[in-house]
Amino acid sequence: MSSAHETETDVWTTEDAKSLYMIDRWGRGYFDVSPDGNLTVAPLQERGSKIAIRDVVDAAIEQGLRTPLLIRFQDLLHHRVRALNEAFNRAIAESKFRGTYRGVFPIKVNQLREVVEEILDAGKTYHYGVEVGSKPEVFAGLSVHTDPESLIVCNGYKDDNFIRTALIGRKLGKKVILIAEKLSEVRMITRVAKEMNVEPMIGLRVRLLTEGAGKWKTSGGENAKFGLSTAEILAAIRIMDEAGMSSSFKLLHFHIGSQVPDILIIKRAVREATRYYAKLRKMGQRIEYIDVGGGLAIDYDGSRSTFHSSMNYSVEEYARDIVHNIADICDEERVPHPNIVSESGRAIVAHHSVLVVQAFGSIEKTPMSPIDIQTEEHKLIQNLLYIKDNISGPNLGESWHDLLQIKEEAQKMFELGLLNLDVKARVEILFWEIAENMQKIASSLEPEEVPDDLGELRKQLADQYICNFSVFQSLLDHWALGALFPIVPIHRLNERPAADSTLVDITCDSDGKVSKFIDLNDVKDTLPLHPISGDQPYYVGIFLTGAYQDIMGDIHNLFGRVNEVHVFLDEDEESGYYIEETIAGNKIHEVLALTQYDNRDLVGKVKAQVDGAIKQDLLKPTEGMRLLADYERGLKDQTYLSLTSAP
Ligand SMILES: *Cc1c(COP(=O)(O)O)cnc(C)c1O
């Protein structure tokens, strides 16, 4: 809220924009602002070039794509994979740990083939593998995985087909580890493995008492949906023994939930799981891997705290703490160091994609220009004018209460039929005009001088910027869980933003909005934005959406997948990058087909209606055929608004 306290005469610089939108904090060296006010991305941080996101949008538009546009910076994936693997390798070297690190990417966090392939490519030298959690994912995982040294970890509930597919991987010489989520799966795995005459690699998911924290904490703890109790682990070992597969137990797994903001919880879970590992080793189980699951968080709000949208640790600290605590307990229990597996998804992919949406209009509460005041005025208007002429810092609280009372009185009179529309209109206009004046006065005061109940005023005065996208398709966790994402205009950052705003999408759903924004303390209700000017498009970027968001979207209101471009750095290009691939978003007929409207059927039915109208002389035949052609052509349009002409 720092901008509000500055006076208008201060010069606005891009440094002000950086601190207002906290770009250095959540941007982590990937995102910055150029001197001409563009938001830039450096996919390799300081080691590669910086790209203005606005330039990519313009290039995509030139290639025929429109916003909403999802931009993937593929080099950023490389950078994240290297950072994670190197953090573990450094930690292992530092603490003279005798196992190795064998990370896997959980593809449910972003299954897009190009994303998974890029990650595997980046992870080749580290033997970085994949984690799958469903039948479709195991089919995908098996096909993209090529390195026999790297793992395929199979989580999730399984049936015969799932297990059989995973064991095809074993037949091909791959290290596919089937993690049993419950006891009956151990029986299924041994049975199918026997039928296929192959030795399975089995992992057991242990149900720890340590619970996660934040929004996904129910993945761990005694009431978790997954995992085996201590007694069940012992029973699982007996089942493997009886099947003659006692050496198949290779991995001990746990997962306490995603986005764990507090490192203390991670340490406690690691220590608890390692205790299981050590005791099992002492019983003669030759387990080779401890798998610490996911949970490595992202600092969405940049606060470096234990708030749900943040984290109080770094990737380096995460790796060091895991390695150190596993070593500590193994040494104490005198058992060999295991290899370490982690299933970090969010931390690998969140940064790499940016969603750019166009704000194309705003719903403002305050009038564009002051209204003429007539001499003969209604009592309510006179009272409002009195308040307007007499507000000052010291009586701000009192004036606000008077203002609210008049508004309520006006509403009552209207309901009783005692107020004409022209008076009602004037009451509304004056109300917002006075509220805005009050807000201006309030923002010039020190925060402690502002009456408490005026806090709501700022929220009420906020304009709503209408953005051409769907929260349900592109920002599902914000709607469902209140997850926060950094949102920043991608240009004009050398101009002072004027309006406190919220964002609304184009779905017909009042939940289709963003009215919670990142802040260093808690959350903010509004986002400062620039006035939308005449014929220039105004673009807002939604950041850190690469994990879960861009893959989980649903087609509420039949808004489909958005256009997408994949950007690669290239020093030979003048711009420093090129667009390798564009993926067109869903067309109208495609989303309709998903809900059983066949394209030919749609056209056929409308044609029958056009024919009928021609017969009844409502239409001339040529006009009818032209309308039918329009309908048919329109089906190939994108689902979002085409905002080509100036508003
Ligand atoms: C979802 C999931 C992950 C990924 O978690 P992140 O917090 O995104 O790293 C890892 N392992 C399992 C078993 C999961 O279900």
Per-residue pLDDT tens digits for 482-509:
999 999 999 999 999 988 899 999 999 9
Residue among 128, 254, 258 to mutate when testing ligand 1 (max atoms within 8 A of CB) = 258
Q: Is 92's pLDDT higher than 70?
A: yes
Say if CB 263 and CB 321 are below 8 A apart: yes
The mean per-residue pLDDT over the stretch 57-66 comes to 94
- pLDDT of res. 4: 45
CA dihedral for 295, 301, 307, 309, sign (positive or negative) = negative
d(CA 57, CA 60): 5
- pLDDT of res. 394: 87
CA 203 to ligand 1 centroid distance, Å: 16
C-beta contacts of 435-439 below 8 A and 24+ residues apart: 435/366, 435/403, 435/460, 435/461, 436/366, 436/461, 437/388, 437/391, 438/391, 438/396, 438/399, 438/400, 438/403
Residue among 343, 545, 548, 551 to mutate when testing ligand 1 (max atoms within 8 A of CB) = 343
Look up residue 529 and give its DSSP letter. E
The mean per-residue pLDDT over the stretch 349-375 comes to 81
What confidence tens digit (pLDDT) does each residue in 375-411 have?
568 899 999 999 999 998 888 889 999 999 999 999 9
CATH class for domain 74-347? alpha beta
- pLDDT of res. 466: 95
Q: Is 445's pLDDT higher than 90?
A: no
User: Of ligand 1's atoms, which has the minimum distance to the CA of residue 297?
Assistant: 7
CA 399 to ligand 1 centroid distance, Å: 53
Q: Is 290 known as a binding-site position?
A: yes
Q: Which ranges of 334-378 would DSSP assign to H, the alpha helix?
A: 346-349
* 144 — pLDDT class (breaks 50, 70, 90): very high
Residue 399 amino acid letter: S
- pLDDT of res. 3: 44
The mean per-residue pLDDT over the stretch 427-444 comes to 89
User: Of ligand 1's atoms, which has the minimum distance to the CA of residue 226?
Assistant: 13
CA 295 to ligand 1 centroid distance, Å: 6
Say whether domain 379-458 belongs to CATH 1.20.58. yes
Higher-confidence position of 458 and 322: 322
Nearest CA, atom 14, ligand 1: 294
Residue whose pair of structure tokens reads 């950086």 in the numeric block: 18
The mean per-residue pLDDT over the stretch 188-215 comes to 91
Establish whether residue 524 lines the binding site of ligand 1, counting it when its CB lies within 6 angstroms of any ligand atom.
no
The mean per-residue pLDDT over the stretch 298-313 comes to 96
Q: Is 298 known as a binding-site position?
A: yes
Establish whether residue 103 lines the binding site of ligand 1, counting it when its CB lies within 6 angstroms of any ligand atom.
no
d(CA 512, CA 467): 10
| Paired tokens of 459 | 């929220």
Burial tier of 418 (Cβ tally within 10 Å: 0-12, 13-18, 19+): exposed
Establish whether residue 492 lines the binding site of ligand 1, counting it when its CB lies within 6 angstroms of any ligand atom.
no
User: Of ligand 1's atoms, which has the minimum distance to the CA of residue 293?
Assistant: 11
Annotated catalytic residue, options 154, 330, 467, 508: 508
The count of other CB atoms within 10 Å of the CB of residue 604 is 10
Q: Is 529's pLDDT higher than 90?
A: yes
Q: Is 291 known as a binding-site position?
A: yes
* 28: nearest Cα among 293, 267, 294, 297: 297
Q: Which ranges of 391-498 would DSSP assign to H, the alpha helix?
A: 396-415, 421-444, 455-461, 471-474, 476-481
The CA distances from residue 454 to 393, 409, 461, in Å, are 12, 20, 11
Spell out the residues 6+ positions from residue 284 whose beta carbon is closer than 8 angstroms to its own: none
User: Of ligand 1's atoms, which has the minimum distance to the CA of residue 346?
Assistant: 8
d(CA 158, CA 527): 45
CA 209 to ligand 1 centroid distance, Å: 18
What confidence tens digit (pLDDT) does each residue in 229-288 have?
999 999 999 999 999 999 999 999 999 999 999 999 999 999 999 999 999 999 999 999
Say if CB 537 and CB 643 are below 8 A apart: yes
| Paired tokens of 409 | 């009185």
Establish whether residue 489 lines the binding site of ligand 1, counting it when its CB lies within 6 angstroms of any ligand atom.
no
Residue whose pair of structure tokens reads 């749609």 in the numeric block: 602
Establish whether residue 410 lines the binding site of ligand 1, counting it when its CB lies within 6 angstroms of any ligand atom.
no
Residue among 255, 289, 349 to mutate when testing ligand 1 (max atoms within 8 A of CB) = 255
Element (H, E) at 72: strand 69-73
User: Of ligand 1's atoms, which has the minimum distance to the CA of residue 179?
Assistant: 13
Burial tier of 462 (Cβ tally within 10 Å: 0-12, 13-18, 19+): buried
Establish whether residue 258 lines the binding site of ligand 1, counting it when its CB lies within 6 angstroms of any ligand atom.
yes
Q: Is 218's pLDDT higher than 70?
A: no
CA 284 to ligand 1 centroid distance, Å: 30
Q: Is 307's pLDDT higher than 90?
A: yes
Establish whether residue 528 lines the binding site of ligand 1, counting it when its CB lies within 6 angstroms of any ligand atom.
no
| Paired tokens of 175 | 């290290």
What confidence tens digit (pLDDT) does each residue in 335-351 have?
999 999 999 999 999 99
Q: Which of 46-50, 71-75, 200-204 has the lowest mean pLDDT?
A: 46-50
Look up residue 372 and give its DSSP letter. P
Q: Is 1's pLDDT higher than 80?
A: no
- pLDDT of res. 170: 97
* 246: nearest Cα among 207, 176, 282, 199: 199
- pLDDT of res. 646: 43
Q: Is 299 known as a binding-site position?
A: yes
CA 342 to ligand 1 centroid distance, Å: 9
* 597 — pLDDT class (breaks 50, 70, 90): very high
* 481 — pLDDT class (breaks 50, 70, 90): very high
pTM of the entire structure?
0.92
CA 226 to ligand 1 centroid distance, Å: 13
CA dihedral for 346, 347, 353, 355, sign (positive or negative) = positive
Establish whether residue 85 lines the binding site of ligand 1, counting it when its CB lies within 6 angstroms of any ligand atom.
no
Establish whether residue 346 lines the binding site of ligand 1, counting it when its CB lies within 6 angstroms of any ligand atom.
yes
Residue 87 amino acid letter: A
Say if CB 177 and CB 152 are below 8 A apart: yes
d(CA 539, CA 316): 35
Peptide bond into 68 cis (omega under 30): yes
Q: Which of 374-378, 476-480, 556-560, 612-616 has the lowest mean pLDDT?
A: 374-378
| Paired tokens of 98 | 């005798």
User: Of ligand 1's atoms, which has the minimum distance to the CA of residue 344?
Assistant: 9
| Paired tokens of 222 | 């005694």
Establish whether residue 106 lines the binding site of ligand 1, counting it when its CB lies within 6 angstroms of any ligand atom.
yes
Higher-confidence position of 260 and 7: 260
Residue among 84, 105, 109, 218 to mutate when testing ligand 1 (max atoms within 8 A of CB) = 109
- pLDDT of res. 452: 78
Q: Is 10's pLDDT higher than 90?
A: no
CA 294 to ligand 1 centroid distance, Å: 4
Sheet strands (E) in 88-221: 104-106, 129-132, 151-154, 175-180, 201-205
Spell out the residues 6+ positions from residue 294 whose beta carbon is closer than 8 angstroms to its own: 106, 109, 255, 257, 258, 342, 343, 344, 345, 346
* 2 — pLDDT class (breaks 50, 70, 90): very low
Q: Is 647's pLDDT higher than 50?
A: no
Look up residue 333 and give its DSSP letter. H
Nearest CA, atom 5, ligand 1: 294
- pLDDT of res. 162: 97
- pLDDT of res. 8: 52
Residue 251, classed as helix, strand or coil, is strand
Q: Is 508 a catalytic site residue?
A: yes
Establish whether residue 14 lines the binding site of ligand 1, counting it when its CB lies within 6 angstroms of any ligand atom.
no
d(CA 371, CA 426): 8
What confidence tens digit (pLDDT) does each residue in 117-142 have?
999 999 999 999 999 999 999 999 99
Establish whether residue 297 lines the binding site of ligand 1, counting it when its CB lies within 6 angstroms of any ligand atom.
no
Establish whether residue 345 lines the binding site of ligand 1, counting it when its CB lies within 6 angstroms of any ligand atom.
yes
Say if CB 292 and CB 102 are below 8 A apart: no
Nearest CA, atom 2, ligand 1: 294
Q: Is 371's pLDDT higher than 80?
A: no
Burial tier of 68 (Cβ tally within 10 Å: 0-12, 13-18, 19+): buried
